[in-house]
Structure 1
C-alpha cells in the first residue's frame, strides 16, 4: 500500500544501523571475555537498545499517540485543536484545511491498532480509517513524532493521505 511502503522503507536504514550496533557490542563483549561469563555480558546491549528506541515512559506515550491520532481524525474536533496535534501544525494549516475541506475528510475517523517506537521521539502507527463508519483504509501505516513535549501526527502521514485522496496528485501540495 502506498502509505506503508514509503514510510517503512525509510526505517530500514535505522533498523539496520541499530542491528549493527547491537551485534558489534555483543561481539566486543564476547571477544573481551576469556570464557566463563560471556552469557552475562550479552543482555546489556539488548537492554540499552530497547531504551534507546523508546521514550522514557512508553505506556504513557502510546496512550497520548492514540488519543491525539484519534483526535486528529475526528470530524467533531475543530481545526485549531487538530493543528495542536499535527507536526508543524501552524505551517501545515493550509494542507489541513484542504484535507478537512474535502467532504470525505469531514467524515473520516481513525482507530489506532499498533504503535511501534523507532526512537524516543518517533513511532510507526498502524491504523484503520473509516468513512461514515465503514472501513475505508485498513492497516494503514503512518508515523507519530514527539514535538515540543506532545506526540503528534507526522507531516509525512498527512501528506501521504492527501496524495492518496487525489487532492494533491495533479500538483504538489504546499507544505508537503
Structure 2
C-alpha cells in the first residue's frame, strides 16, 4: 500500500508540474535544450484546459479593426454625402455640411459649383473601403455631360463631428475640372494632400 501511495503522489506531482509549466508535450525532449523562461505563478483559477489557450494579454491588445463598427451605416453616410455634394439643386450650406471643414472652405465649394464646367460635375460612388474607423477610400465615377472624367484614383471620406464627409483633399482635387475655381489655401496644408 505505501508503494502505491508513493506512486500516486509522484504521479500527482508530475501532473501538477505539467499544468504549472504548460509542458504538455509527451513526445518532446522533456524540456531539455529548450530555453528557460520565467513564467508567472499559476493562480487558483488555473485549470488544465487553460494551459493550451493563448495568454489573456493577446486578447486585451489594442484593437486592430480598420473599419467603423457599423460598416453599412458608415457607407450609407458616405454615399449620402457624395449625393448631396453633387446634386444640382443642393445649396452651398448643404454642400459645405458634407465636406470636411466645409464651412472654412465654403468659398472654394461655391466657386466650384458656380463655375460653368464645375457646375456640371456629377459623381456616383462605386465602392467604399476603410483605411481606419475614421477614414475611407471612395471609388467613384466622375462625369460631366455624360462623359467620364479622370479622378486620379479614389476619393476620400472622413468622419468629422460624428458624420461622414467628403475629405477636403478630394474637393481640392475636383477644382481642376472647373474653368475658374481656385483651390482654397487649406488645400496646401499637409492634411489635405493626397495620400
For this structure pair, what is the TM-score category when the shorter chain's length is used for normalisation? 0.5 to 0.7
| 1:95 corresponds to | 108
**Structure 1 position 49 matched with structure 2 position 64:** yes
Q: Name the CA distance, whole Å, in 2 between partners of 1:117 and 1:164.
A: 26
User: TM-score, length-normalised on structure 1?
Assistant: 0.66
Residue aligned with 2:185, SS: coil
Q: Name the CA distance, whole Å, in 2 between partners of 1:84 and 1:152.
A: 8
* Structure richer in strand, relative to its length: 1
Residue aligned with 1:96, SS: helix
Using the TM superposition, give the Cα deviation of residue 168 of structure 1 relative to its aligned residue in structure 2, in angstroms: 6.3
Aligned positions, number: 137
| 2:186 corresponds to | 175
Q: Name the CA distance, whole Å, in 2 between partners of 1:62 and 1:79.
A: 23
| 1:18 corresponds to | none
* Structure richer in helix, relative to its length: 1
Which has the greater radius of gyration? 2
- Structure 2, unaligned stretches of length 5 or more? 1-38, 40-51, 188-195
Structure with the greater relative contact order (CA < 8 A, sep ≥ 6): 1 or 2?
Answer: 1
Q: Deviations over 1:45-87 (max 9, x none)?
A: 9xx433xx11110111011101111211122211111011011
**Structure 1 position 104 matched with structure 2 position 122:** no
Q: Name the CA distance, whole Å, in 2 between partners of 1:152 and 1:173.
A: 17
Runs of 4+ in 1 over 6 A off after TM superposition: none
Residue aligned with 1:103, SS: coil
Residue aligned with 1:162, SS: helix
Instruction: Give 1:1-176 correspondences, 5 Å limit.
Output: 48-50=63-65, 53-137=66-150, 140-163=153-176, 165=178, 167=180, 173-176=184-187
Q: Deviations over 1:70-112 (max 9, x none)?
A: 2111222111110110111110111111211211211111100
For the aligned residue pairs, the C-alpha RMSD in angstroms reads 3.0
Cα distance change, pair 98–168 in 1 and its aligned pair in 2 (3 A): closer
Residue aligned with 2:156, SS: strand
- Structure 1, unaligned stretches of length 5 or more? 1-31
User: TM-score, length-normalised on structure 2?
Assistant: 0.60
Q: Name the CA distance, whole Å, in 1 between partners of 2:76 and 2:83.
A: 11
